Amino acid sequence: MDGRDGSASGVGDISAPGRVAGPDEGVSAQELALAARNHGLPLEALRYDVTPPGLHYVLVHYDIPDTTPDGWRLTVGGRVRRPLVLDPAALRALPSATHRVTLECAGNGRARLTPRPVSQPWLAEAVGTADWTGVPLAALLAETGITEDAVEVVFTGADHGVERGVEQDYRRSLPLATAADPARDVLVAYAMNGAPLPPQHGSPLRLVVPGWYGMAHVKWLTDITVTDTPYTGFQQSVAYRLRQAADDPGEPVTLIAPRALMVPPGFPDFMSRTRVVRPGPVTLVGRAWSGHGPVTRVEVSEDGGAVWTGAELLPDPAHPWAWTAWRATWTATPGLRHLTVRATDAAGHVQPLVAPWNRGGFANNLVQRVEVLCTAEPTAADPYAGDPHAAEPPPG
């Protein structure tokens, strides 16, 4: 605070540096506020091949901008011979493509790390899959005539805010080799699941980068600039780096690490989310994905990872950028069990049993563990039914 009256006088006074939580530090009110603004996928929604927009995970760095398409323009320039200025209607008039793509937040799993990086407290649900429709970025860039000295493509969103003392528009880049490659299927998207983009998912225009973590999928897209030098802005060189120490330059976060999730079986306890099942065969189902290539194996365990059993994969060759369904049969016996699932991809990456720690809490693809109580006893009838004074008001 620099003001004489104790008030803040600059954005640095209200925007804290990145840090990790202390040994006994609980989740703060600020982190809870972030968790209230953003939301993950309810794991039972893994049953859908394509996630309904309202159930798809959402992360908004700053505010959702005014998404009125009237007056919205996308500029494409920089190291190009024919700059473009396009409104959403002009983009929709161009040849389009639709790709089913699984998106995952780079910080998924952060809240399970020790010590905990202080940020959006994701558990394991920051994921979703949608059918995205738009103009292939490679075709759009080809229309501009990229110059020979170009190396990167920078994307700017309309969301504006302050992060770690830096006032900024949200901005990220891709290597030209990724952005301009037709085989990478990068889209300037204007539709999600056959309908216009919802405001929280980037209306009217957003980037979709198959295989990359969510930070690359710039929403509310306003500008594409081709550059002859690497982009070094905040979201590229400060945020989204895998570093062990504050002064470590780190490695960039890029492709999604393999992950498998199961639909928790049975039914849950309200607070603990511990599941309850009956003895006998239980069908386990879920999804698995990786940005490094197809998932080649999914395994499940009932004892927290001591013994593994292979699951059946149900791949869909028509959608190579989307998650793969899997299923297995588990024979439940009475007692408390810890179901665990892990994925392996074609590049040989296997989900770890110990969380990979870094200061930002990124790319933590620790295996999912689900606590399940198998009991032969049916639950008792509600003892409070018909007596409004027998219990305290229910939560919520």
Reported as a single tens digit per residue, the pLDDT across 242-297 is 999 988 999 999 999 999 999 999 999 999 999 999 999 999 999 999 999 999 99
pTM of structure: 0.93
- What is the percent of the chain with per-residue pLDDT over 90, rounded to a whole number? 85
Give yes or no for residue 11 having a pLDDT over 80: no
Work out the average pLDDT over 54-73: 93
Give yes or no for residue 389 having a pLDDT over 80: no
Query: In this structure, are strands 195-196 and 187-192 parallel, antiparallel, or unpaired?
Result: antiparallel
- Which two structure tokens, joined as six digits, stand for 172? 């990220």
pLDDT digits (tens, 9 = 90+) for 84-139: 999 999 999 999 999 999 999 999 999 999 999 999 999 999 999 999 999 999 99
Q: Categorize the per-residue pLDDT at 18 as very low, low, confident or very high, splitting at 50, 70 and 90.
A: confident
